[in-house]
Structure 1
Amino acid sequence: MNECSTHFFYKKFYIAIRSLAFFVLAAVLFTSCKDKTTEEPTPTTLSKATSEFNADIATRWTDLQLQLIKSTPGYAPPVAARTLGYTSLALYESVVYGMPNYQSLVGQVNGLTSLPKPDLTKEYNWGLAANAALSTLITEMYATTNDANKRAIDSLRRNIESVIRIAIDNQPVTDRSNTFGAEIGKAIWEYSKTDGGHQGWSNNFPTDYKVPVGVGFWEPTSATQKIPLLPYWGKNRTFSSLNMTTNPTAPVSFSFKETSDMFKLAKEVYDVGKALTTEQKAIADFWADGGSTITPPGHHFNIANIVLKKEKVKLDKVAEVYAKVGMAVNDAFISCWRCKYTYNLMRPITYIRQAIDPKWSPLLATPPFPEYSSGHSSGSGAASETLTSIFGDNYAFTDNTHTGKYPDRNFKSFYEYANEATISRLYGGIHYRQGNENGQKNGKEIAKNILKLKFTK
């Protein structure tokens, strides 16, 4: 190789090395300058996995919530569904960093743009975090409950914490875990304030609402309650953005003509109500879930609890199931209420007394809000679709929600329970078949939208 060729070779080699060094330096600078706040923390092995904690850390809080729902003023079904949805989301977010195959729902759930994150270079106890998150949020959500209930909330928090602390005996871990859980609870509380339903328990019957008047429109069915329940609830933000526009199909055209589909629907309610069997009455009573009960959303949630206890699962599974069921049932009730105040359809008792039999009364007391569609059916559709996606079809279980009051009922699948809850409203005389069946179908679609969220990585 001559002198000129040698010089040319070394010059090219130097340029290549310098270019490579430039790209390496640029890559290092780019990596170091990335916004770490948008990245999910990398899990470490310092903390025990969420799957190593007992499920009763969460199920005991649900058991208490069902009692709080029964005895806290203003806890109508939509309000109960909303609270169960938010507390379930808080539970999930407080323990998800101990679930290696799962991820936070920040950026997926409608309007949830950020949440506190743990420092995973340090050890956390996810059981303590869950307990702190739930106690913090439940204290806020049931702020108007009675003093005995407030003492029960504080007592359960202290009891669960004391049991866990005995096992770990590590004050820094305890403090760190409690702080993180409380931060999640507070953040979800602040997030909940922006959905349109904040403190809905305080104004179930807003006096500024003007009841629409027209042929076939809802009319008060009680001499004392002239304003319908939560008329603005359908405007609330849903957990899935898709559920803001997921609605039941429209009801049939209203008519008093005996040849009309509307008349046939009302006549069915009338005929069934006059010839109820003992079993049909039992079904209607079992699913009534009226005032001073755990409400329909609570009933659906209790079924989830029954299954979780039966399966002897751990805390990670409870967090997943609660989050999916809680958000689905909440969104189902928002969609249902949106539909109710879109169509303002009169109740069967009003239609039948005006067009068929002025002396007729249903088995169950008619709730004070429009008929279409059925909240029971919407909620059971959402819960059954969610539970089936997790535990499979043909899952047999016993619903002991009303043990001591009504006999337990056995079901071969979640869809079977949903179908019974749905038809119960026809037996009770408070819904037409279309409100029941279309409500359940819509509830299932609502649940499918929740299940589209990417819980796993």
Structure 2
Amino acid sequence: MGITFFAIIGCENQPKPAPIKPNEVAIAWAKLTLFITQHTPSNSPTFASRAFGYIGLTMYESVVHGYEDYHSLEGQLNELDSLPKPDTEKQYDWVLSLNAAQASILRDIYIQTSEENVLKIDSPERRIYEQYSKNLKEDMVTNSISFGKEVAQAIFEWSKTDGGHRGYLHNFDKEIIHPDFPGSWKPPLFAQSFSHHPLHPHWGENRTFVAVNAEVEDPEFLPYDTVPGSPYYKQFEAVYKKERELTRAEKESAIRWGDDPDVSFTPPGHSYYIATLAAESSGADLITVAKAYAQTGISVADAFIECWKWKYAFFTERPNTFVPKYIDEEWESFWRDPPFPAFPSPGMPYRRRRLPRP
């Protein structure tokens, strides 16, 4: 996870860590966000994508008013009509503001995380506070921390109305009626986590961060066809053939990117991680790094809403049901199925199916 992260949350009896630069504070909090995401129970890619959206946005909004060339996203994001503003008569340290805001939003979004992880949030918050509050007037320190917490609280309150609040409490809706048609998704026998019902079937109904993202047109769909040589059949056949010739390196790569629960920081976490690598290698300043995390978090959050909307509009089967039935009845895939429908590839236009509520 990187030197900066472990230097900040190291044990109390270790040597005192070197001072951390403002941009490194943002990066360290991003790394801790990835760690908490991976090690929080009942998490899912859907809920994690949402978390990155709000955590990244909070980082940006906690510092943006310190940079006259940048603007708050208040009034630009979907139903985000008002956010706290700094008092022009007061002084602020923006690193202290970011520090307080990130600690606050992490605790709120991942309220179900372990006590051990809460301590991992407390430790860097305290150490960054100790470094950046030195030689500052008490009222400036208080102003900065209060503003950061106010931003985090306002964003968290806004998050409660998006349809995904505490989504980990209802990962699987046992009351949904499964569409049943040729090629429809069926519960897998060999899966990352077995459930008779798919993960977050109504996630696609959540509020997007950017309003226009909810208006993206439906993709096209390959029509169901079990005839060998048809486009639909050939896609499953390609998976079947590839699985039979996987090299050891390819299997290890598949496991790495499989994103089983508690094994990695989830698919949207990979995007947040790549943003972290870019932030580290570029040496960008604090506001640039904070903006990058906000853009990345918002993008993956909205992408997952749209992706899940289409998964349940098409409710498409996966290779582990098609291949044994139509290609090789003894086939056992190396890959374990995730507990939700597949995403269809481009092809002929297709009319959407709505997943009915009870």
Name the TM-score class by shorter chain. 0.7 to 0.9
Q: C-alpha separation between the residues in 2 aligned to 1:264 and 1:350?
A: 15
Task: Using CA pairs under 8 Å that are at least 6 residues apart, name the structure with larger relative contact order, 1 or 2.
Answer: 2
Q: Which residue of 1 aligns with 2:236?
A: 266
Amino acid at match of 2:231: D
Which residue of 290, 298, 316 maps to 1:319?
290
Which amino acid letter does the alignment assign opposite residue 312 of structure 1? G
Aligned partners of 1:125 and 1:174 also within 8 Å: yes
8 A Cα contact 1:74 1:203, kept in partner: no
Match of 1:349 in 2: 320
> For 1:25-51, what per-residue CA distance to the aligned partner results, in whole angstroms no more than 9, with x for missing partners?
xxxxxxxxxxxxxxxxxxxxxxxxxxx
Cα contact 1:205–1:227 (8 A) shared by 2: yes
Deviation track 1:143-181 (CA, whole Å, cap 9, x = no partner) reads: 111110111112221111111112x33100010111111
Corresponding residue for residue 172 of structure 1: 139
Which residue is 1:64 aligned to?
Answer: 32
In structure 1, C-alpha distance between the alignment counterparts of 2:136 and 2:210, rounded to whole Å:
40
Distance between the aligned counterparts of 2:88 and 2:59, measured in 1? 18
Cα contact 2:172–2:200 (8 A) shared by 1: yes
Deviation at 1:324, TM superposition (A): 0.7
Q: Distance in 2 between matches of 1:76 and 1:104?
A: 29
Alignment-derived partner of residue 368 in structure 1: 339
- Structure 2 CA distance for aligned equivalents of residues 143 and 78 of structure 1: 16
Aligned-pair CA distance for 1:267: 0.9
Preserved contact between residue 110 and residue 241 of structure 1 (Cα < 8 Å): yes
Alpha-carbon separation, structure 2, partners of 1:150 and 1:247: 41
Question: Does structure 1 residue 275 correspond to structure 2 residue 245?
Answer: yes
Q: Which residue number corresponds to residue 260 of structure 2?
A: 290
Q: Which has the greater radius of gyration?
A: 1
Q: 2:71, 2:339 → 1: CA distance?
A: 41
Aligned pairs, how many? 324
Residue 110 (structure 2) pairs with residue 139 (structure 1): no
- Choose from 142, 145, 159 the match for 2:127: 159
Q: TM-score, normalised by structure 1?
A: 0.68
* Displacement of 1:209: 2.0
One-letter identity of the residue aligned with 2:98: A
- Contact 2:86/2:147 (8 A) holds in 1: yes
User: How far apart in 2 are the matches of 1:156 and 1:362?
Assistant: 43
Answer 1 or 2: which has greater helix percent.
1
Deviates more, 1:112-121 or 1:251-260: 251-260
CA distance in structure 2 between the partners assigned to 1:297 and 1:177 by the alignment: 30
Sequence identity percentage: 37
Structure 2 distance, partners of 1:273, 1:85, is 34
Could you list the per-position Cα deviations for residues 223-267 of structure 1 after superposition, in whole angstroms to 9, with x for gaps in the alignment?
741010111101111111111022552221012122421111111
Alpha-carbon distance in structure 2 between the residues aligned to 1:353 and 1:247:
33
Deviation at 1:367, TM superposition (A): 0.4
Q: CA deviation at 1:279?
A: 4.2
* Structure 1 Cα separation of the partners of residues 107 and 219 of structure 2: 38
Partner of 2:90: 122
Q: Name the SS of the counterpart of 1:55 in structure 2.
A: helix
- Summarize the alignment of residues 188-203 of structure 1 with structure 2, pairs less than 5 Å apart: 188-203=155-170
Range moving further from structure 2, 145-154 or 277-286: 277-286
Instruction: Name the CA shift for 1:333/1:106 in 2 (closer, same or farther; >3 Å).
Output: same
Q: CA RMSD in A?
A: 1.8
Large movers: runs of 4+ above 4 Å: none
- Contact 1:74 / 1:200 at 8 angstroms: preserved in 2? no
Contact 2:43/2:261, CA 8 A, preserved across alignment:
no
Q: What amino acid sits opposite 2:339 in the alignment?
A: P
Alpha-carbon distance change, 289 to 247 in structure 1, aligned in 2, over 3 angstroms:
farther
Deviations, residues 327-352 of structure 1 (Å, cap 9, x unaligned): 01111111110010000000011110
Between 296-305 and 240-249, report the one with greater CA deviation: 240-249
Residue in structure 2 matched with residue 299 of structure 1 by the alignment? 270
CA distance 1:70–1:233, change in 2 (3 Å): same
The amino acid across from 1:110 in the alignment is: N
TM-score of the pair, normalised by structure 2: 0.87
Are 2:263 and 1:309 equivalent residues in the alignment?
no
Q: Does 1:185 align with 2:152?
A: yes
TM-superposed deviation, 1:363: 2.0
Partners of 2:283 and 2:81 lie apart in 1 by: 34
Which of 49, 58, 77 lines up with 1:109 in the alignment? 77
